Amino acid sequence: MQQITGGICASKGFSASGIHCGIRKNKSKKDLALIVSEVKAAAAGVYTKNLVKGAPIAVTKEHIKDGYARAIICNSGNANTCNANGTEIATQTCELVEKYTGISKNDVVVASTGVIGQPMTIEPFANGMEELVNSLGDKSSDAAEAIMTTDTVKKEIAFEFELDGKTCHIGGIAKGSGMIHPNMATMLVFVTTDVSIAPDMLKKALSADVENTFNMVSVDGDTSTNDMVIVLANGQAENETIEQEGELYDKFCEALFAVNSYLCRMIAKDGEGATKLITCNVTGGDTLENAKTVAKSVVCSSLLKAAMFGADANWGRVLCAIGYSGADVDVNKIDVEFVSKAGKIEVCKQGAGIDFSEEIAKEVLTESEININIALNSGEASSTAWGCDLTYDYVKINGDYRT
């Protein structure tokens, strides 16, 4: 597998665009994105488990219940959530895509992100749709920019790999910086691939992958109302269609994980106000469930996140987070170390503190990417979760988010 450029347009038969249509007040910020496949594609989605859901989620679920779609349209600046006319707006947006592209409205995925409960009208979409469609091309970065809210960087990635002797591609874009927490933990992710795969197998692959990627990310403990991961697979790589589990399916799952795990790291690193990416690697679990529970609990700990911001090797907060996680572990077997490009330092052995240099620990934890390695020493299961530090700026960003 090889990392390549192109994002969501790296896969054959996909084009994208992103423009400013007037949803956001700042004219320098794009706020409407479109992704189109030349042919109908197998489609699968995973959505937020929040009981309060944006109207686009219901419309999208209905449109891809047959397992297929051809286009994705997404706006930023307004979540289209808790609005009396939300479903109407989402539906009319799909109708506009049909009007200007000829793609059936029932084959359009629609998504929104931004402020919840703000009035929304169809006018910006109607005014911008012609430009959006006319701008379609190799413009993954424009689409990635158009779905951003408090994100500080565009998030996109692509890989090339082989299946059945055919060269295949897979790419993705994401937005997510705040309201990120395990439970379908991203804001929005759109993945395209030219692999030929049956809709039921695509859904199976995505559902399984999310458990090890987007459900293992946390920035602030808040699960959004609009979380959505959508994958479109249009088959233009012309590989033997994946219709059951086996070698081809496994290779596709590896490629999907490569894209999604990369985007997870980008989301966590770009957490609102964050200065550090925290990766928690847990090994030696007696069960996968226990390993995952420990990893998630550590990256979700506000006290641990604050300690990482201050470059404080307060390993007791790691043990504390493990202790209340609900995982069935033997605390007296746990080892903990902190690792970064500045070095590695062991801070805990068999559940107890050991002598270490606070100066070296400070150097290790001052880096922008930190690994917290936890050995449970009770089995063979392992898991990884991603998070970030908790800074003053997080409160500042969210204190005036609407204004």
Q: Which residues are tagged catalytic? A: 186
Cβ contact 61:29 at 8 Å: no
Cβ contact 211:252 at 8 Å: no
Cβ contact 43:73 at 8 Å: no
User: What token pair was written down for 98?
Assistant: 């049909």
Burial 27-49 (b: 16+ CB within 10 A, else e): eeebbbbbbbbeebbbbbbbbbe
Report the Cα 68 to chain-centroid distance in Å: 22
Tokens 């679920």 belong to residue: 61
CA-wise closest residue to 111 among 140, 73, 145, 162: 73
**Biggest CA pair distance of the chain:** 69
Give the C-alpha separation, 341 to 393, whole Å: 25
Give the C-alpha separation, 92 to 125, whole Å: 9
Give the C-alpha separation, 335 to 395, whole Å: 33
Instruction: Please report, as a single letter, which amino acid is at residue 138.
Output: D
Long-range contacts of 249-254 (CB under 8 A, 24+ apart): 249/197, 249/201, 249/205, 251/161, 251/162, 251/163, 252/163, 252/193, 252/195, 252/197, 252/205, 253/205, 253/208, 253/209, 254/1, 254/161
The Cβ of residue 141 has, within 10 Å, a number of other Cβ atoms equal to: 18
